Structure 1
């Protein structure tokens, strides 16, 4: 079986980890191949280093090195370098880079500086974390540098754009967003293997990642949406909302910025042109969609541990088999 997932950071990483757990513990499914197409719109340059937050969260989570308490960053992390940067007055200080994490950013920046494309850089990083041995292929959505920015009101009554990470991390999405602008997306092309992974998949999954600034950015890469419309694989999504509230993060604030209600049905509507089935929490059992099949999960749609994420992934795969039958 070939499974392709479009993913952001924590939610996507935990879902794919649960998916891999389910596959490995189910007879006949252990040899299934999982390809993850990762959002790179969160990427940012800090202290001269290229940081890919969603890619790194996927690497650390799927490679067994993540800090599970917070869902991102390295386990056993320290911050001596960040403290030294602060002592020098280096800015910004609102984005904490751990000492182990900096190693990833240094080598990524070094290879990119040598002209190695992001897809190859990511493959090298994935090899260090043992993803190929786990039958997981991690693909950045594009090799083109792209960055999501958020347009907010400024103090003079006008507008200003800030990097998505500043809005998300520093301000915790508390500044009302006027709109999102993805710099570089207009000249981007899908990364190597991305479109084939969608077209040749047996199942395509949309984890409960942010529908606007994670999966939504991946869908903005030229060719990706067309590939989803054209694939013969069933496309099954997992709602990132429970009773209108995000399971994690600030998806409701992102949806408000694009004028979409924070409901499971409205989020599914963002995928209406290619979505075949939609898995929702029991609290959203009244969700009705014009085209896609809606199924209610048999418990809270929460990925509280690997096993619970695995059960959600199992249900999504079973749903895929019913819509393709």
Structure 2
């Protein structure tokens, strides 16, 4: 395990905003370090109905990762997966562009059954986290449907068609988060952000545009963040102008935004601090807020623990009255 959390944060709640694979790695480190004091608010803009099932890709990635069930090679789905269902579906001429493993199907089937029976997505996710032995609270950003739509040069695509079906190949012009302004934030998410003893909010190194912006588009959550007095920090998803995984740098280029930490800081205008990779140290003086440099590439479990500890330590030093040295 990594170093203990700073004394000023001990026993106090922390909120993380998270998307899929990259964000889930840091969420795992935070869960291992602070457990039940952590609430992870997860993007649901990727959710969609497929083969009659309600699929929540980012929620499931976080659940499987924190439960120790995720596939370490793919970074998504369950370890030890088999594909008999997909093979049989292909033989029948069914849709196979979005692959659902045999083990993974159980989660989607149970979620769909529960939602049809009147259970909220928040309550279902909470129940699954407890059943899988996860100490942290895992909550969706909203129980209402929010759809991330990708506007390309040729057409407007549902997120999964763009991301999985077309492998992010079309040039992205802009993103739309349908129903976000009307969607109500998850009650557990709002309660976590409004906790009177909240110690910090950490934006995980998920794709800012595809994974974090849908969360911020839910007006209740954005207003709750505006009212947070605890330090809000983010971990950059870029190392040397490139994303470790995913299309972040490609999307930034298509939007005309430089792929650097300066742009990440400007994108999240409400931040109190930003953690960037050590290789990007030269960018520190161009960022108009406190910066901490660290190794942010999480190859191992020890890396996840270390970065989680760095986040908590950085947040503790941003509390008014704390030491201001940022260890640049």
Give the TM-score normalised by the residue count of structure 1.
0.90
Q: Residue 26 of structure 1 aligns with which residue? A: none
Q: Taking structure 1 as reference, are residues 101 and 284 closer, same or farther at Cα in structure 2, changes over 3 Å only?
A: same
Q: For 1:234 and 1:32, locate their aligned partners in 2 and report how far apart those are by CA, in whole Å.
A: 20
Distance apart, 1:140 and its partner CA: 0.3
Asked whether the equivalents of residues 235 and 275 of structure 1 are also in contact (C-alpha less than 8 Å), the reply is: yes
Distance apart, 1:295 and its partner CA: 1.4
Distance apart, 1:291 and its partner CA: 4.3
Q: Residue 137 of structure 1 aligns with which residue? A: 137
Answering whether residue 92 of structure 2 is matched by residue 83 of structure 1, we say no
Asked whether the equivalents of residues 43 and 211 of structure 2 are also in contact (C-alpha less than 8 Å), the reply is: yes
Answering whether residue 275 of structure 2 is matched by residue 271 of structure 1, we say no
Answering whether residue 76 of structure 2 is matched by residue 72 of structure 1, we say yes
Q: Residue 240 of structure 1 aligns with which residue? A: 237
Residues 174-193 of structure 1: pairs in structure 2 closer than 5 A = 174-193=169-188
Q: For 2:254 and 2:111, locate their aligned partners in 1 and report how far apart those are by CA, in whole Å.
A: 32
Within the candidate set 297, 304, 307, 2:299 is matched to 304
Q: Residue 52 of structure 1 aligns with which residue? A: 56
Deviations 1:29-56 (A, max 9, x none): xx66100000000111110101000000
Answering whether residue 18 of structure 2 is matched by residue 15 of structure 1, we say no
Report how many residues are paired: 306
How well do the aligned residues superpose, as a CA RMSD in angstroms? 1.5
Q: For 1:129 and 1:32, locate their aligned partners in 2 and report how far apart those are by CA, in whole Å.
A: 14
Q: In structure 1, the residue corresponding to 2:318 is in which secondary structure?
A: helix
Deviations 1:74-96 (A, max 9, x none): 011001111111111112x1211
Asked whether the equivalents of residues 273 and 290 of structure 2 are also in contact (C-alpha less than 8 Å), the reply is: yes
Answering whether residue 103 of structure 2 is matched by residue 100 of structure 1, we say yes
Q: Taking structure 1 as reference, are residues 142 and 289 closer, same or farther at Cα in structure 2, changes over 3 Å only?
A: farther
Distance apart, 1:68 and its partner CA: 1.1
Q: For 1:318 and 1:121, locate their aligned partners in 2 and report how far apart those are by CA, in whole Å.
A: 33
**Can you give the 5+ residue segments of structure 2 that lack an aligned partner in the other structure?**
1-11, 323-328
Distance apart, 1:221 and its partner CA: 0.6
Distance apart, 1:196 and its partner CA: 2.2
Distance apart, 1:170 and its partner CA: 2.4
Residues 120-199 of structure 1: pairs in structure 2 closer than 5 A = 120-131=123-134, 134=135, 136-154=136-154, 160-199=155-194
Answering whether residue 286 of structure 2 is matched by residue 283 of structure 1, we say no
Answering whether residue 203 of structure 2 is matched by residue 206 of structure 1, we say yes
Q: For 1:3 and 1:294, locate their aligned partners in 2 and report how far apart those are by CA, in whole Å.
A: 20
Q: In structure 2, the residue corresponding to 1:226 is in which secondary structure?
A: helix
Q: Residue 27 of structure 1 aligns with which residue? A: none
Q: Residue 212 of structure 2 aligns with which residue? A: 215
Deviations 1:217-270 (A, max 9, x none): 111111222222221211111110011101211111232344422111101111
Q: Residue 110 of structure 1 aligns with which residue? A: 113
Q: Residue 292 of structure 2 aligns with which residue? A: 295
Q: For 2:28 and 2:170, locate their aligned partners in 1 and report how far apart those are by CA, in whole Å.
A: 32
Q: For 1:175 and 1:121, locate their aligned partners in 2 and report how far apart those are by CA, in whole Å.
A: 35
